[in-house]
Structure 1
Amino acid sequence: MPAEIAKLKSLQELCLEDMHKWQDWIPCRVECEKFPCLRELSISNCPKLEKFSYHLPSLEKLSIYKCKHLVVSILSDLELQELKMVGCKEVEHGSLKVEKLIIKNCKELTSLCEDELMSLVTLEIEIKSCQSLVNIKLKSTLRTLTIKGCNALESLQFVMDERAVSSTSSLLMNEENLSYYIGNNNASLPEHLEISDCPSLKCVSTIVDLAVMLKRLDIEKCPKLTSLSSRDTLPTTLKVLRLVNCPKLESIVDKLNKDTLLEHLLIICCEKLRCLPRGLHKLCHLEEIDIEDCEKLEALPNNMHNLNFLQDLLICDCPSIVFFPKEGFPTNLRELRLSGANLCKQVFELGLHRLTSLTFLSIEDGIMDSFPKEEDGKTMLMLPTSLTTLEFRNFPNLLFLSWKFFQNLSALEQISISQCPKLEPLSKKCFPPSLQQLEIYDCPVLKQNCEKDKGIMWSKIVHIPSVIIY
């Protein structure tokens, strides 16, 4: 570092970049006082810099990037808001106090355990792409922990800090070799737990069962995961449950306590999941159910109509669900998305006119050739007048769509019709005056008949402000 910079006593921010020949933080021959006012320091792309150790009493933010030979040595009395280390060789520290610690691409870092981090007072830690990191042992006073791309990581342990009440609120794990989690029975575990890309992980019961204050559980891309809880239940505090790409998960839990605060349930690509928890219909806070690509899921819970707070329901690509509960849909639904021949057929049989709050309806993968059906000149399916958006997708046999289907839809603003290759043009000017957008995709017959000034449907759609055909 140039001696002139080192003598700037009032300096508050310092950024040093692309100094390819720089080797010493401050050369020994330079006599200067410390930077008493320096608040932010960034060192980037200094490949020959080998040692950083200096007393910076006012420092709040320290960022070090791409200094591959650098050993970072931080003095014990340093208190930081944020510490970032990306692509450095090693980290040495004493009793460090920092609000946010970020460590990335430190290839020789093998352990963050016991005395190394037990003195660390921090709220948020992020560790990414430290390929040699094997063990992590931390206090349970964290608020957020993120671990990603640490392929050699084998164990993660939390211990209780007896001197402080745990403020842990979030834990995220993302690594290839993590196969088990070690938790102290007295430890207060996070409110937010996210686990992703853990191909060896088979069970998270130790975490879930201990996390009595868990509010959000996200598990994604865990191909060997088979169960969530050894007690066959989930914390009543849980508000969000999200399970994605867990192909061996056969069940969530047997039963949910009626006092569970669950608001959002999302299950995607869990091929072996056969059933949902009993008691789901008794949850008085449930607002959203999203279930997709669950091939073996056989049924939806009975009495779903009792879910008075349910606003969004999405059931797609679940071919084993043959019947929808005979009681029908919860009447307060705001959005409904369904796909599959069986479910689509039942939609028309059950009727939707009772869903007076429904604003969005999407129906996909039906097998009928026309709808709605008519008997004695009467339409057998009436849609709720509250609808503002209507979607039809992938009806390969659909030939006819009656103009009566759209009558009384005075609030309708958007219609999307896609992948209906045989659909013929509508016979009358059926679209309501309220319609603002019409989208037609992969419907060759309909597309031809909607050509500007040529197609027989052009006069029926010319009044619509936005027409998208492709």
Structure 2
Amino acid sequence: MGNLVNLHYFDIRGANSIERIPFRIGKLTNLQRVSNFIIGEGEGHSIRELKYLSNLKGDFCLSGLENVKGEDAGEAKLNEKQGIDRLVLEWSRDFRKDTREKEVEEWVLDSLHPSKKLEQLVIQNYGGSKFSAWIADSSFKNMLSLELHDCKNCKSLPSIGRLLLLKDLSISGLDQVHKIGAELFGENQSNAFASLESLCFGNMLKWEEWDLCEDDEQVSKFPSLRFLSIRECPLLLGRLPTILQSLQKLEIYECKRLLVSISSFPLLCELSVIGCEELVDEGSLSVQKVTSLKNVSLSNISKFNISAERMMLRFAKSEKFVISCWEELGSLSQNGLSLVGHRIITIADCPQLVFLETEERLQLDKIPGVESLEIRDCERLNRLPKVLHAFPFITRIQLQNCPALVCFAERNFPPALKELRIVNCVNLQYLVDEKENNNKSMCSNTCLLERLEIVLCPSLMRLSSRGDICNRLQHLDISYSPKLSSLFLNAKLPVMLKKLYIGACPVLECIAQDFRETTDLESICIWSAHKIKSLPRGLDKLSHLQEIQLISFPNLVSFEEIGLPTTNLRVLTISSCENFGSLFKCINNFTSLRKLKVWECSADISFPEEGFPTNLTSLAISNAPKIYTSLVEWGFNRLTSLEDLDISGEGCSGVVSFPDEAIGMMLPPSLTNISIRRFQNLEFMCSKGLQHLTSLQLLGIFDCPKLASLPEKDMLLSLERLYISNCPSLEEGCSRGKGREWSKISHIPCVQINYKTVIPRELH
């Protein structure tokens, strides 16, 4: 590489297997950018080559420093490379190596003094017990960002407060630091951290005390700080800084012993506290002016020490409001909280929550401007507000794991609601309580509901007694609701419905009388609906329908009576419908059909007289010996666009080769994926029938006990993945390095036998 004397850029980002920088890189004196200068094990002296690279600029990472000795590090002449504005000094993450010596690493760090023009410095995995004095040298007048990560042996921090222009400071993983105090600010600093805007501490497992020296009135602490984050400091005691006049965002995560006071943060607009000892907001409301928070997330806080009046002042107008793991919360009202003023509300893991807010309070206040409401894992919540129907702006509601909830609404749906998702509410019986609804429509014609999803609601008996849940409904998804007997008693689907998904509703007998008014329907997916005997009439008139999937539909016999749309249908799946015995005779006219799956249906199902649509890209056939036999005779090769083929051979006892050698069966050259299954008497695969498959990437062979050989290697050259399972004769032949079939597959990047990789990609 030393001959590339005109090389300017050497970027090896993402090449994680490279263990060292190339030899003689020092001869490339025109280099301007080197993403990572890696010092290999035993190659510590190669750092000396850096002294010749005087044109380096921009970002520069120097890694593998655990392999360097102090006398070599000094020869790098980093202080002369004034074009470097961001420097990363990185040691190995492995602190268990016997070769790691604290004194040596301290010497190395001392010797890697960079240029005074440096703007950003990152030190990672340093093993010394103290930092070099140059890190906090006030002569670094351009230093804007400093990061100290996973320096496991350091017991104290340098006097970073001397860096007067520093804006971002991040410190994490300093396991030996117990106290942070005056040393951080430096001596005689009347304006420490004058420019600091972001301060982050993380994963400081032994940090117990943060002494801010706030009794020193001559020192102004963090006058410009806007963002403070303290994460995973489990032993940290005491309070946060008491006066942070510029703080706008505060983030506390898993600091279980910390008292978090937001009393002196007048500009605070984003607050996230997850796991702390106590949350406090004190002070005189008449004296101190504070802004209302915009984004609030409160979780797993042992004690709330905030008055109801203060709660209203701080939290009443937040756009995003999240509460979780609040053990004592019985309602929002009891703690001075309200639905009023929030745009997005999430409440989770509040086991004592019974209701959100008293009706009197909602009537006294202005109507809530909530747009999204999500409630999860609140086991005692038994009702939503009675005036929910009057929330004018709410567009999304999600209720999950609320077992005490019996109905969603006591009157109509909110008029702007577009998405309603209800999951695992085991006692939910109705969406709307008809008794309270006075026989009115649960959803007026002006309702904007587009998506309704109901999952794991075993007590749900019906959606509506009137059938007009919403004319604008576009997505109806219902599954795992075993008591659901009818969707709509008058059997009328929403006019604007686009997606119909019904699953695991074993007593559901009727979906609707017909599809005649649901002309925009695009997708139908129904599974485990054992009592449904047929789909509604008018299916053949759905000109926009693109997908039909019917799974575990035991009473379905055929489509002959109701017909299918031929215009835009692209996906047709009939699976585990054991009485389904007839495909359309004219299915070849379905010119838009791309994916066809007939799986585990009646063994007597026959091949349509005119064949399959030749534009199919995916075909899956199982338990259909008549179809397989006729399809072979008709000619697989007619399917000139076919890419995925999945064939299961139940009942095909006479098949001994695939493709069938006796009739010269050919497969379409467009195939990229082939899976063959359950051919009990299959003995070999015919190379001739596979010879044109130059694009084949995946071959799967499953449950073929007599199959002993694969096609010739020339037929498998394009393969990237080979899967073999429950084929004992073939598995023995493919044993690595010794099986007779090994030479045919040793070039394939990924081979799995019985779901275990036998040829890892790295061996190639």
Query: Shorter chain as normaliser: what TM range?
Result: 0.7 to 0.9
Which of 305, 310, 325 is equivalent to 2:584?
325
SS class of match (1:210): coil
Structure 1 portions without partners, runs of 5+: 27-31
Q: Give the Å deviation of 1:41.
A: 1.2
SS class of match (1:431): helix
Which range moved further: 412-421 or 11-20? 11-20
Contact kept? 1:75, 1:96, Cα under 8 Å: no
Contact kept? 1:404, 1:430, Cα under 8 Å: no
**Deviation string, structure 1 residues 372-392 (Cα, Å, up to 9, x no partner):** 79999535x664443221212
Which of 130, 133, 136 is equivalent to 2:381?
133
Contact kept? 1:68, 1:87, Cα under 8 Å: no
Contact kept? 2:716, 2:745, Cα under 8 Å: no
Distance 1:308 1:214 in 2: 24
Contact kept? 1:418, 1:442, Cα under 8 Å: yes
Cα 1:413–1:66 change in 2 (3 A) is same
Contact kept? 2:255, 2:276, Cα under 8 Å: yes
CA RMSD after TM alignment: 3.8
**Deviation string, structure 1 residues 58-113 (Cα, Å, up to 9, x no partner):** 41111111136548744278322211111222322346222210111222221236
Which of 176, 180, 189 is equivalent to 2:426?
176
Match of 1:29 in 2: none
Cα 1:413–1:178 change in 2 (3 A) is same
Match of 1:80 in 2: 318
Q: Give the Å deviation of 1:280.
A: 2.8
Cα 1:44–1:208 change in 2 (3 A) is farther
Q: Which amino acid aligns with 2:397?
A: L
Q: Which amino acid aligns with 1:448?
A: E
Contact kept? 1:311, 1:332, Cα under 8 Å: yes
Distance 1:79 1:323 in 2: 62
Distance 2:684 2:392 in 1: 62
Cα 1:49–1:298 change in 2 (3 A) is same
| Percent identity over paired residues | 31
Contact kept? 1:142, 1:170, Cα under 8 Å: no
TM-score, with normalisation over the residues of structure 2?
A: 0.53
Q: Which amino acid aligns with 1:387?
A: L
TM-score, with normalisation over the residues of structure 1?
A: 0.82
Contact kept? 1:21, 1:48, Cα under 8 Å: yes
Cα 1:302–1:344 change in 2 (3 A) is farther
Cα 1:427–1:135 change in 2 (3 A) is closer
Match of 1:414 in 2: 698
Cα 1:20–1:265 change in 2 (3 A) is same
Contact kept? 1:311, 1:335, Cα under 8 Å: yes
Which range moved further: 37-46 or 144-153? 37-46
Match of 1:111 in 2: 355
Distance 1:251 1:52 in 2: 60
The answer as to 2:399 corresponding to 1:147 is yes
Q: Which amino acid aligns with 1:344?
A: A
SS class of match (2:374): strand
Match of 2:678 in 1: 394
SS class of match (2:468): helix
The answer as to 2:663 corresponding to 1:378 is yes
Q: How does 1:346-357 map to 2 (within 5 A)?
A: 346-348=626-628, 349-350=630-631, 353-357=637-641
**Deviation string, structure 1 residues 267-290 (Cα, Å, up to 9, x no partner):** 233333332333334333333333
Match of 2:299 in 1: 65
The answer as to 2:489 corresponding to 1:204 is no
Distance 2:660 2:697 in 1: 29
Distance 2:468 2:656 in 1: 50
SS class of match (1:326): coil
Q: Which amino acid aligns with 1:210?
A: I
Q: Which amino acid aligns with 1:216?
A: H
Contact kept? 1:218, 1:243, Cα under 8 Å: yes
Which of 458, 467, 477 is equivalent to 1:218?
477
Distance 1:418 1:291 in 2: 25
Contact kept? 1:49, 1:69, Cα under 8 Å: yes
Which range moved further: 68-77 or 93-102? 68-77
The answer as to 2:727 corresponding to 1:443 is yes
Structure 2 portions without partners, runs of 5+: 1-236, 433-440, 604-622, 755-764
Contact kept? 1:422, 1:443, Cα under 8 Å: yes
Which of 346, 356, 361 is equivalent to 1:102?
346
Distance 1:2 1:395 in 2: 71
Distance 1:273 1:109 in 2: 40
Q: Give the Å deviation of 1:20.
A: 4.5
Contact kept? 1:313, 1:337, Cα under 8 Å: yes
Contact kept? 1:140, 1:159, Cα under 8 Å: no
Cα 1:457–1:185 change in 2 (3 A) is closer
Q: How does 1:229-240 map to 2 (within 5 A)?
A: 229-240=488-499
Contact kept? 2:659, 2:667, Cα under 8 Å: no
Q: Which amino acid aligns with 1:80?
A: S
Q: Which amino acid aligns with 1:110?
A: V
Distance 1:148 1:214 in 2: 21
**Deviation string, structure 1 residues 294-345 (Cα, Å, up to 9, x no partner):** 3333334678775343333333322222232233363444334442262533
The answer as to 2:581 corresponding to 1:344 is no
**Deviation string, structure 1 residues 359-384 (Cα, Å, up to 9, x no partner):** 222234622121779999535x6644
Distance 2:679 2:698 in 1: 19
Cα 1:328–1:383 change in 2 (3 A) is farther
Match of 1:10 in 2: 246
SS class of match (2:624): helix
The answer as to 2:573 corresponding to 1:314 is yes
Distance 1:280 1:231 in 2: 18
Matched length: 459
Choose between structure 1 and 2: higher strand proportion: 1
